[in-house]
Structure 1
Amino acid sequence: MIYAVECSYNDRASEVEWNAFYSFEKLPALISVAGINTSQRFKALTPGCPKYLALHSVACPDVLLSAEYRLKGGGNFAKWQSHITDWHRNVYEGIELMPAVGPTDLLALSFDGSSAFEHDDEAFRLEAVALDMKPAFRWLRVFDLVKVDLARLRLEGLALYEPMGKRLMPGVRNE
């Protein structure tokens, strides 16, 4: 399952500090929670969608209800909470382990269930099963930047994201 957290941030003066907190404190704390198997952050290249996206592979939605998850900062952005806007959280079925999105890759995510990926064997159909439950269905696909037609993807109305760092995994030296 994938736990998706989407948001924008409205304070330019503290945005660099917030991103450092999220990438270097929050994600490493969350990846140490039992049942969270991967974590990776992304920044939108497409207007009209939340600016930031974090995708976590989770064993089940109950992981997000655990005391350990809350203790390690899950669901809370500390002093930055008041600057978080357009915040959405969903748990999706359809993929067991989120693939790593490398520095020369691009992540495409549909805003809703409609997508050009319906017959694409490398795309994942995601169905919301917990939290906001909107959108109910999405498609996710990782592309190699060298091989992708960006203009076509933008015309398809997809949210396009670049990775903000490597995919983190528990028990792996995540630097």
Structure 2
Amino acid sequence: MIYTVECNYADHASEAEWNAFYSLEKLPALISVSGFSSSQRFKALSGDCPAYLALHSVDTLAVLQSDEYRQKGGGNFARWQSHITDWKRNLYAGLDRAVGVGADEFLLVSEQGPQVLIGLGLTPVALHAVALDKNPTHRWLAKLGCTQARASDLQGLKVYSAMTMQLLS
């Protein structure tokens, strides 16, 4: 299952510190939780979505309800909470492990269907929301090499660059 966390961050003065915390402390803490198998963080390049996206591969919803998750990874945002906006969490079925996205690739996300990704010559992965916010209910993911990307081809897609490498348990 794929656990997604999306948000914006409203305080420019502390944003770099928050990003360092999330990428260097929170992701390694999450990947140490039993049932997490991968974690990676992204920054949106298109303006029609929250600025930040994290993709985590988890075994089941029970992982996110465990004491270990609450102690190590969940709920430790107190210092940053007042600046986090547009926060959404979803759990999607359809993929056992999120694809890792390299520094020379983009993550493309479609909420309108797979056709635009297929039109780019990509093989999208379909996800269906099964828990948490359940919105959007369906998403399609694909990777695209930076050298293949042309802005005109990416209309209607959410486009992300990797902020971190994919961490594996």
Shorter-chain TM-score bucket reads: over 0.9
The within-5 A match list for 1:110-125 is: 110-113=110-113, 115-117=115-117, 122-125=123-126
Q: Contact (CA 8 Å) 2:114, 2:124: kept in 1 or not?
A: no
Distance in 1 (CA, whole Å) between partners of 2:67 and 2:52 is 26
Structure 2 partner of 1:44: 44
Aligned residue identity for 2:31: I
Distance in 2 (CA, whole Å) between partners of 1:150 and 1:131 is 32
Q: For structure 1, which segment, 140-149 or 12-21, has the greater mean C-alpha deviation from structure 2 after superposition? A: 140-149
What number of residue pairs does the alignment pair up? 168
Structure 1 partner of 2:130: 129
The SS at the match of 2:74 is: coil
Structure 2 partner of 1:173: none
Structure 2 partner of 1:144: 145
- 1:65-109 CA distances to partner (integer Å, 9 max, x unpaired)? 000000013144220011000100001111111111000000011
Q: Contact (CA 8 Å) 1:113, 1:136: kept in 2 or not?
A: no
Percent identity over the alignment is 54
Distance in 2 (CA, whole Å) between partners of 1:159 and 1:3 is 17
The SS at the match of 2:142 is: strand
Task: Quote how far apart the aligned CAs of 1:165 are.
Answer: 1.2
5+ long unaligned stretches in structure 1? 171-175
Describe the shift of the 1:9–1:109 C-alpha distance in structure 2 as closer, same or farther (beyond 3 A): same
Structure 1 partner of 2:62: 62
Aligned residue identity for 2:70: R
Structure 2 partner of 1:161: 160
- 1:110-138 CA distances to partner (integer Å, 9 max, x unpaired)? 23446523686621011000100011101
Q: Contact (CA 8 Å) 2:122, 2:142: kept in 1 or not?
A: no
TM-score by length of 1: 0.90
Are 2:104 and 1:104 equivalent residues in the alignment? yes
TM-score by length of 2: 0.93
Aligned residue identity for 1:67: D
Task: Quote how far apart the aligned CAs of 1:159 are.
Answer: 0.7
The SS at the match of 1:78 is: coil
5+ long unaligned stretches in structure 2? none
Q: Contact (CA 8 Å) 1:113, 1:135: kept in 2 or not?
A: no
Distance in 1 (CA, whole Å) between partners of 2:75 and 2:112 is 24
